[in-house]
Amino acid sequence: MKQLTVDVVHELSMSNVASFTFPSFLWRFVLMYTGQAFYFTLGEGSLCVFINFFRIFIFLFQNYVNSSNLDFHSFIFFHLFYLFTCNFDMSLERKDTSFCRHQCRISFHGYPIEGLLPVRAISVPHRLSLLLHSSFPLRRRCYFPGAITERTNEVKGRRERSNKEKAIMRPILMKGHERPLTFLKYNREGDLLFSCAKDHTPTVWFADDGERLGTYRGHNGAVWCCDVSRDSTRLVTGSADQSVKLWDVQTGTQLYSFNFNSPARSVDFSVGDKLVVITTDPFMGNPSTIQVKRIARDPADQTSDSVLTIKGPRGRINRAVWGPLNKTIISAGEDSIIRIWDSETGQLLKESDKESGHQKTISSLCMSADKSHFLTGSADKSAKLWDTRSLTLLKTYQMDRPVNAVAISPLLDHVVIGGGQEAVNVTMTDRRAGKFEAKFYHKILQDEIGGVKGHFGPINALAFNPDGRSFSSGGEDGYVRLHHFDPDYFSIRM
């Protein structure tokens, strides 16, 4: 369809000119009698559109008065104007705040029309009120009975529905992996999110809008864990291909590969990024180990020698992290026991109590931001909060499902816990029976705050943004869901 362009002049600044395209079948008639009919004014409360149809009404009124029957030309204009007043719909929403540009969407009788309206005022409301501004006889109501009232009610109802929709926390769905997620990690600034999965390819995303930045290709097996350096320049990943790889975050270049005789399960940078602790699985007669590697500043000087190797724990070690000031290493795994090791000598310092501790495999471990306490999740359907130095049990959060992932909020006294039924049973039960949702608990009171649904498989990974204003979850379904908290979340009172 041929399009006509109509200039829209901003009343506050005559230099701000935008263009709107409208179907020519409408403007061919309207412009014949009205010329340029639109101009905008900005007010504090709303953005008003004034449409001057004075000439049309004069034309119709004269024909109506002078003749008992309207001619065909007047009849066409009568219906065009009625349709225009009843079906003209405009809405304003922020498009790009950095350039103070706003998107103005217009539709006429089902035809979408879009254009950019540049404005200089920053506090522009997100709504439009449609006003008919002209001086014509009072008998105008005969031409469009109830049009203004119906239009006002419709706009008001749409605005109320829009406000209700904004109150719902809507996640950003990130699809970049072909296999189940295994681990999620934010960088220190919280602007990057790193994800690991069983598809061999770690991925980095923008943590704000979920845009995928790139992937790190080189592994030949499932990637179980990752960590990023404090300055966001180095990434370390552990994989089932019996290797731990060091990457350049910006370029995706592989800097070094540590090779082992068994799959690497967990990796964690020390404070200062000069050391990394790695755990390996029991495999082909080799026991599980905890190894500490030194990270060289220059990749050319990097070696595979271990600073420390700890052997002894039975079963797989699912997680090992550094304690305060890099003086200790905290490990947990398949035997359901939490251990604290001396990071210099490898000596076992403390073990968790078997009666008060977990009764089944510990699947996840999350350290608090200040390293004073940490949270563990287990297949025994519970998550427990521990003191880092004394290994004293502080809190227990009971669940009705196996726990696969846990995270501690750095901003509020909240913890989030996720899991679900075993992955092998997912296809044999209803989606609601799997209980695939992330549950929020008050860290001190242990009361459940709420839950976030969305995944259609067990949740395998959870992570809070360092600013505490968003969190992400990764599931067996292969999706990463990025959630930005609503303002109501920060005003919750227990």
pLDDT score for 106:
38
Q: Are strands 254-259 and 362-367 parallel, antiparallel or unpaired?
A: unpaired
Q: Report yes or no on 115 lying in a domain.
A: yes
Examine residue 378 and state whether it is found in any structural domain, yes or no.
no
Residues in the chain: 494
Is residue 34 included in any domain, yes or no? yes
* 7 assigned to some structural domain: yes
Average pLDDT, 10 consecutive residues per value, the chain (494 residues): 32 32 40 37 33 45 48 53 43 33 38 34 30 30 35 51 55 94 97 97 96 96 97 97 97 96 97 97 93 95 95 90 97 96 96 94 96 97 97 95 96 95 61 76 95 92 97 96 94 81
Residue 168's pLDDT is: 60
Q: Tell me, what's the pLDDT at 493?
A: 80
Task: Say how many domains are in the chain.
Answer: 1
Which residue range is the domain that position 107 belongs to? 3-166
Let me know if residue 95 belongs to a domain.
Answer: yes
pTM for this one? 0.67
Type of residue at 164: K
Q: Kindly provide the residue ranges of all beta strands, DSSP E only, lying in 260-316, ordered along the sequence.
A: 264-269, 275-280, 289-294, 306-311
Residue at 44 is within a domain? yes
**R_g over Cα of the chain:** 31
**In a domain? residue 39:** yes
Instruction: Identify the pLDDT of residue 312.
Output: 73
Angle between helices 72-87 and 24-34 (to 10 degrees): 110
455-493 burial, b at 16+ Cβ within 10 Å, e below that, comes to bebbbbbbbbbbebbbbbbbbbbbbbbbbbbeeebeeee
In a domain, 130, yes or no: yes
- As to burial, measured by CB atoms within 10 angstroms (0-12 exposed, 13-18 middle, 19+ buried), residue 183 is buried
The region, left, alpha or beta by phi > 0 then psi within -120 to 50, assigned to residue 220 is: alpha
Is the Cα torsion angle 435, 238, 264, 341 positive or negative in sign? negative
